[in-house]
Structure 1
Amino acid sequence: MSHDGVGSRAVLRSAAFLTAGALAVSLLAGCGSDEEASRPLAGQDIDLVARDKVAEGGTLKWAVDAVPETLNTFQADADAGTTRVAQAVLPSMFRLDAAGRPVANPAYLESAKVIETEPRQVVQYKLNQQAVWSDGREIGAADFVAQWRALSGRDSAYWTARNAGYDRIEKIERGANDLQVRVTFSRPYADWKSLFSPLYPKDVMGTPDAFNDGARRKLNVTAGPFKVEKVDTATKDIVLTRNPRWWGKPAKLNEIVLHAVDRDKRAAALADGTVDLADIDPAEAERINLASRQGGTGTPLQGAGKTSAKKLRSWALAHGFDADEVKVGKKKLRRAITRYLEQQEKLHAFDVRKSLEPAYTQLALNGAEGPLTDERVRRAVARAIDRTELAKLVLTPLGLPAVPVGSHLALSGQADYADNSGALGGPDTKEAAALLADAGWVLGGPVKEQKKAEKAAGAESTKKKEDQSDGGDDGQYIVGEDDKGRDDKGKHHESAEEKTEKAEKGEKGDEGGKHLSRDGKQYSGGQGGAPGAYAPKGTAAPAGAVTGPLAKDGKALALRFVLPSGPGSETLNSVAERISAMLEKVGIRTTITKVSDESYFKDHVAAGDYDLALYSWPSSAFPATDARPIYAKPVPAADGSVNVEQNFTRVGTDQVDQLFDQAASTLDEDEARDLIRKADSRIWAAAGSLPLYQRPQLVGARNNLVNAGAFGFQTPVYEDMGFLKKGAKVSPSPSAS
């Protein structure tokens, strides 16, 4: 499994299933429809051809991470394999286009639109009159009703992972005829296009038992170009075959076999014919490219034993062999190299298709405990990091555009995208050092506690300076919405949100990013005034990069950087090492801790046992719904615990929550876009997470396989996939740059 990887919207946004796998622009307050739309940074790369060039028949063997535990995408243990099956065998009222925007799916819909807004929002679906389930029954209102009732959250007997949107539905009715479905909402819902995609038959959704257990290993009734033939955990296969009742353009392939293959074994699986199509890591992509360029790699084997063990080991290391693999004896190493070369010959029949995934990798900063509870420290971390450099580190060697992601809530090409990183500020080590000094972190090792007499004298000598500054008694800040950002002297300190609001209005806020609050928290040690003004006597304000460790209250400023350790984590490790070097320049020490793949997310990220971590989130066409639980302000639960939903950084504000709620409740698309962008600006300002780069999408594909590969944003069209007819040619794919 790729530790930086992500699954689908239905999986990750709803079920908290995650794996591993900041900026100097002006603040955008939210832009209207007259703004020039952004474009995807990379197009899809699928060897796109017309259907008449695709041969009839054949089996596509497609690698997945694992045989899914469930085929119900609305359950908590659904994964990317679950979604792949659902896309091929179930209706979706809307699917995503090449820019990641929802478009009506003509196989199932003639039209879908809001027909009333007062007194209630009403959406009318006109279904394709040919659309039927595989048992011959028409797709209709009964299926919509069953799915609504299962996912509404009103019946706890349904073990659902999410109910967002379905909980706003008041009723569903048959329209003027059987092909019309009227959905009435109890309150406005902007993201109504996210619903009923996928749509399950009433056989699955009709009762709790059927929902909870009936679709875990089988789907007896489907309505797509393919149907589920069998799920075989012994062979690690899911077999999809043509659906004889499919009314659309017939599938070109006879079968699609989804076969579970570990990430680090996929080049070998491609070579031996186990799979024809597989997401791969950069190292395996380079193997395929090398085979394609050279038809092989040359050989260090010259007869029986002429090449020394030292030369064999050197050659093996240069060609990507693991260090442990080359420690074996000469005979075993020769056999390993022989197998490798045989695979390289077979990999000549494959190519690498590349694009950017509809997902981004972020640096998460745990704001629940330790130094990062102080917003100034989080902002200092962010301003010490050059995100462009990190994007180049990952993407430039792959020939992909190295542009840092400027939004938490959308990616370039999507309607809601705007670069709001200016709300935080550009990379600047001087500003980072100033923020740390303002928070009380100073050079010179652990700070020794002053004697009582010295404290009294110091307090008297600095009283005048304090009275003239924005600071409060003893440097304490009581923050949160109830306090209105005022200290115990009644003086006002701007929070990050207030600073952002002023920037949007063109007003001048606090200088230098000082006095930044956290909701409902109280902390001390960071008096107001100019950076460094309240450091120990004789300590100058920082003028450049810090060259030694910082400390406060007898403790050095050190952060624990938690990473996964298994195959596929190499990119994350490289990024983490570069980030650590950047933080070292401002006096922040990091300790990289590598943990097992199995425990990385569950026991560390989700549990809050980290200071810094790297993991990915997918983008969504519906951020008001899907992103809200990721950035929602944690709230105390009845049992005394804290409900963080999917906000694993534990950083959130009431205002961000309100902006999401407003965006989800307006039917004005321009207004919703403006609210989403404002929410993103405030998320940036809080510095709980830093989007770094859009994830590379590398796919190894048999070179005669067409209409499949690196799909980018677009939902795959399963009925068009297949193998190129003999004599037909592929037109050049859109550039990935």
Structure 2
Amino acid sequence: MSYDGDAPHAVPAGQRPTGARPATTRPPHRTASRPLRRGALRSAAFLTAGALAVPLLAGCGEDEKPPAPLAGQDIAPAARSLVADGSTLKWAVDALPETLNTFQADADAGTGRVAQAVLPSMFRLDANGRPVANPAYLESAEVIETEPRQVVLYKLNQQAVWSDGREIGAADFVAQWRALSGRNSAYWTARNAGYDRIAKIERGDSDLQVRVTFSRPYADWKSLFSPLYPKDVTGTPDAFNDGARRKLKVTAGPFRVEKVDTANKDVVLTRNPRWWGRPAKLEKIVLHAVPRDQRAAALADGSVDLAEVDAADAQRIGLAHRAGGTGTPLQGGGRTSARKLGQQALRDVEIRKSLEPAYTQLALNGAGGPLADERVRRAVARALDRVELARLVLTPLGLPAVPVGSHLALSGQAAYADNSGALGAQDAKEAQALLADAGWVRGGPLKEQHKTQKAAGSERHGEDVSEGGEDGAYIVGEDDKGNRHGTAGDQHTDPHLAREGRAGGAPGAYAPKGTAAPAAAPAGPLAKDGKPLALRFVLPSGPGSDTLNSVAERISAMLEQVGIRATITKVSDESYFRDHIAAGDYDLALYSWPATAFPATDARPVYAKPLPAADGSVNVEQNYTRVGTDQVDQLFDQAATTLDEDEARDLIKKADSRIWAAAGSIPLYQRPQLVGVRKDVVNAGAFGFQTPVYEDMGFLKKGAKVSPAPGRDKG
């Protein structure tokens, strides 16, 4: 998951759920005293704004053409002959990785970047999001037997060796399987899905062949051994738990880990002298930790060459580029001081943009309160205009504003289908009918209830009280005197800079210029048993949350039209996931999930029906909405065990339809991916679905030119 803010992702926009860009909160992680013993953790669980989505995408049948991605990659592609040899690429990341082991719970986007550059992956994604065998490591990989058991035969590239000179082989596959199978609790693993289905691994007819036999059919076998660690890392619990957190002595990619420099917040990758493939064009890649609100300045002063940025900074960079070298300071407010960023300094930077393989959703907590009633959840969903919300975020960026129609795949993936019809489109009358059927009617002690809410809000521990009123909470469209206002749709033409209004206009949700104002609000919120229908909408408050705030305000205004009052409460980025999403302390929230090529495996814990644990608690796995059904679980299980790809896709689509119908989460839009890049950097930028090809990245030779991507705004 990740939350998305103005920033382009990973995704809540970083490496957690996505919505507005929260800080770098991660899923719960193990401590030395309490090893994590979970089943499957969805890859790159919460996306943060810079999170890297690394899961592979499932292939499609030969007779079925998958839908195209809504936006292609934008990386300034150049032939290797045009790329200069040597030099260093400085690449901004959210934070220094806590671990270099991607299978540990505190792995993050930086961990994934390192793994892609220095470790084998049996499969990687192409630009259309399809998994292809990685020829650097594989000659082939295929299912060669299905009866009595499924057997996959890997034929390895005979040149593939670890950096210590040893051949990559069956011993590495065996060690990784044993570490991740879940059979030895001494290994602190974040997930073991798929590895727990392996019965045995053997050498084939030669040292270059690996036979993997499964105890039961496993459709998502292509997800395994990507990345593959050397047996030095996975062979013992101590090596796995601690040995690879700060060092990777043995690697097998175009780059190797030279050092993790905690003082300078750098991970330094250098060319691997034992790499057998096409030599890396870059001498070094330095992954440098830079906070989101400092990235435009870092691009301007040259301390980084490539950085994911948020929408506001992308617009400022665009303005600088279009204005030319006048030396005039940039205009406008925001998190980056315009006075410090002269236009001249940013003229050599351009914005490359695509859509992340991740989507932002509205989460509805069904564990208790009004949203425990499916009719109320469905009413919330039917009150939303998802097209308008997608336009609010994506249209100003020049990206396709198409609502996401699936929880389990994105356009471009073989499993994608718009299943939102299982719930229905926006229909205020239907929403009101559902609420009436659930017993919510007009009237009730609203004023007293509101006072109680404000008093309770002032006592909440650890919540941000610097914005949105005295207690850190405000109701969209309500001023300090308790008066309601309509939405002032045109007061802010830039939705990414729209905040709750305090001076010069009523607070509320702001749509892009030209958007019609909604109809007059109903007489008042609905009530039941003397209590108003009021929901607590929890959001992160830190830098990068502007987009999430704008979306939340617009959603709240839509809910008001059907009689639902949403109180927005802002909390610190650090506590957003840990203390609210994971703990279930919210009614409504915005965060993102990465797309996965293997939904039967990776998405099951996200939508699994919560079950009581032996100690009396409820095990929700990663289902933070607490909404699930037995039927959805069964469909996931069936999809994971069928080796017929068409049948597996059909089962996933059926599961998605039932997830829509349960209305625990409502997909809204695919996250924007905005990357500020020095103009002479090629084969890098907004990758979209594609796995980066690290050996081809570099700087354009002097005098060489490449054609700009169609439709790219250089700023």
Normalising by the residue count of structure 1, what TM-score does the alignment of the two structures yield? 0.79
- Deviation for aligned residue 1:9: 11
- Deviation for aligned residue 1:97: 1.3
Please state whether the residue corresponding to 1:354 is helix, strand or coil. strand
Please state whether the residue corresponding to 1:14 is helix, strand or coil. coil
Maintained 8 Å contact 1:43/1:736: no
- Deviation for aligned residue 1:275: 0.3
Question: Which residue pairs with 2:308 in the alignment?
Answer: 279
Cα distance in 1 between the residues matched to 2:131 and 2:695: 19
Please state whether the residue corresponding to 2:140 is helix, strand or coil. strand
Cα distance in 1 between the residues matched to 2:522 and 2:628: 30
Question: Which residue pairs with 2:294 in the alignment?
Answer: 265
The residue type equivalent to 1:339 in the other structure is K
1:411-446 Cα deviation digits (max 9, x unpaired)? 001000000000000100000000000000001225
**Match 1:695 to one of 659, 671, 690:** 671
* Distance verdict in 2 for CA 1:594–1:296, change over 3 Å: farther
Matches within 5 A, 1:329-728: 338-341=339-342, 344-446=343-445, 546-728=522-704
Cα distance in 1 between the residues matched to 2:433 and 2:445: 19
Matches within 5 A, 1:58-73: 58-73=87-102
* Distance verdict in 2 for CA 1:33–1:373, change over 3 Å: farther
Question: Which residue pairs with 1:14 in the alignment?
Answer: 42
* Distance verdict in 2 for CA 1:337–1:53, change over 3 Å: closer
* Distance verdict in 2 for CA 1:554–1:205, change over 3 Å: same
Cα distance in 2 between the residues matched to 1:179 and 1:404: 46
- Deviation for aligned residue 1:734: 5.0
Question: Which residue pairs with 2:332 in the alignment?
Answer: 319
- Deviation for aligned residue 1:84: 0.1
Matches within 5 A, 1:133-148: 133-148=162-177
Maintained 8 Å contact 2:349/2:679: yes
Cα distance in 2 between the residues matched to 1:112 and 1:32: 17
**Match 2:321 to one of 273, 289, 292:** 292
Cα distance in 2 between the residues matched to 1:547 and 1:171: 67
- Deviation for aligned residue 1:563: 0.2
Maintained 8 Å contact 2:45/2:593: no
Cα distance in 2 between the residues matched to 1:622 and 1:615: 20
Question: Which residue pairs with 1:24 in the alignment?
Answer: none
Please state whether the residue corresponding to 2:95 is helix, strand or coil. coil
Cα distance in 2 between the residues matched to 1:281 and 1:202: 40
Cα distance in 2 between the residues matched to 1:20 and 1:438: 39
Maintained 8 Å contact 1:351/1:700: yes
* Distance verdict in 2 for CA 1:42–1:715, change over 3 Å: same
Question: Which residue pairs with 1:230 in the alignment?
Answer: 259
Cα distance in 1 between the residues matched to 2:47 and 2:522: 34
Runs of 4+ in 1 over 3 A off after TM superposition: 1-5, 7-17, 31-36, 296-300, 543-547, 734-737
Please state whether the residue corresponding to 2:421 is helix, strand or coil. helix
* Distance verdict in 2 for CA 1:16–1:649, change over 3 Å: farther
Question: Which residue pairs with 1:37 in the alignment?
Answer: 66
1:17-67 Cα deviation digits (max 9, x unpaired)? 42566xxxxxxxxx9875552110000000001111101111000000000
- Kindly report the root-mean-square deviation, in angstroms, between the aligned alpha carbons of the 2 structures: 2.1
Aligned-pair identity (%)? 81
The residue type equivalent to 2:126 in the other structure is D
Maintained 8 Å contact 1:430/1:545: no
Cα distance in 2 between the residues matched to 1:698 and 1:111: 35
The residue type equivalent to 2:68 in the other structure is R
Please state whether the residue corresponding to 2:379 is helix, strand or coil. helix
Question: Which residue pairs with 2:119 in the alignment?
Answer: 90
Please state whether the residue corresponding to 1:190 is helix, strand or coil. coil
- Deviation for aligned residue 1:340: 3.1
Please state whether the residue corresponding to 2:444 is helix, strand or coil. coil
Cα distance in 2 between the residues matched to 1:3 and 1:666: 35
- Deviation for aligned residue 1:99: 1.8
- Deviation for aligned residue 1:15: 6.8
Highest CA radius of gyration, 1 or 2?
1
Cα distance in 2 between the residues matched to 1:167 and 1:339: 54
Maintained 8 Å contact 1:146/1:205: yes
Maintained 8 Å contact 1:390/1:575: yes
Name which of structure 1's ranges 95-104 and 81-90 shifts more when overlaid on structure 2.
95-104
1:79-121 Cα deviation digits (max 9, x unpaired)? 0000000000000000111122211100000000000000000
**Match 2:707 to one of 702, 723, 731:** 731
1:316-354 Cα deviation digits (max 9, x unpaired)? 8x52246xx9xxxxxxxxxx765333xx31111100000
Cα distance in 1 between the residues matched to 2:127 and 2:257: 27
Maintained 8 Å contact 2:16/2:45: no
Please state whether the residue corresponding to 2:614 is helix, strand or coil. coil
Cα distance in 2 between the residues matched to 1:9 and 1:243: 32
Please state whether the residue corresponding to 1:40 is helix, strand or coil. coil
Question: Which residue pairs with 2:134 in the alignment?
Answer: 105
* Distance verdict in 2 for CA 1:363–1:209, change over 3 Å: same
* Distance verdict in 2 for CA 1:570–1:104, change over 3 Å: same
**Structure 2: any 5+ residue segments left out of the alignment?**
18-25, 28-40, 50-59, 447-518
The residue type equivalent to 2:429 in the other structure is K
Cα distance in 2 between the residues matched to 1:366 and 1:283: 31
Maintained 8 Å contact 1:433/1:546: no
Cα distance in 1 between the residues matched to 2:710 and 2:66: 19
Question: Which residue pairs with 1:165 in the alignment?
Answer: 194
Please state whether the residue corresponding to 1:602 is helix, strand or coil. helix
Aligned residues: 603
Please state whether the residue corresponding to 2:539 is helix, strand or coil. strand
Please state whether the residue corresponding to 1:68 is helix, strand or coil. coil
**Match 2:277 to one of 228, 239, 248:** 248
- Deviation for aligned residue 1:559: 0.3
- Deviation for aligned residue 1:548: 1.8
Cα distance in 2 between the residues matched to 1:672 and 1:145: 28
Please state whether the residue corresponding to 2:590 is helix, strand or coil. strand
The residue type equivalent to 1:413 in the other structure is G
Maintained 8 Å contact 1:173/1:181: yes
**Match 1:185 to one of 214, 227, 251:** 214
- Deviation for aligned residue 1:727: 1.6
1:581-637 Cα deviation digits (max 9, x unpaired)? 000000000100000010000000010000000000000111110000000000000
Maintained 8 Å contact 2:362/2:591: yes
Normalising by the residue count of structure 2, what TM-score does the alignment of the two structures yield? 0.82
Cα distance in 1 between the residues matched to 2:176 and 2:387: 44
Cα distance in 1 between the residues matched to 2:678 and 2:687: 15
Question: Which residue pairs with 2:183 in the alignment?
Answer: 154
Cα distance in 2 between the residues matched to 1:38 and 1:131: 35
Cα distance in 2 between the residues matched to 1:2 and 1:653: 26
Cα distance in 1 between the residues matched to 2:412 and 2:340: 43
* Distance verdict in 2 for CA 1:380–1:545, change over 3 Å: farther
Cα distance in 2 between the residues matched to 1:351 and 1:396: 19
**Match 1:56 to one of 81, 85, 103:** 85
1:152-209 Cα deviation digits (max 9, x unpaired)? 0000000000000000000000000000000000000000000000000000000000
**Structure 1: any 5+ residue segments left out of the alignment?**
22-30, 301-315, 326-335, 448-542
Cα distance in 2 between the residues matched to 1:641 and 1:95: 39
- Deviation for aligned residue 1:731: 2.2
Please state whether the residue corresponding to 1:575 is helix, strand or coil. helix
Question: Which residue pairs with 1:201 in the alignment?
Answer: 230
Question: Which residue pairs with 1:512 in the alignment?
Answer: none
Please state whether the residue corresponding to 2:66 is helix, strand or coil. coil
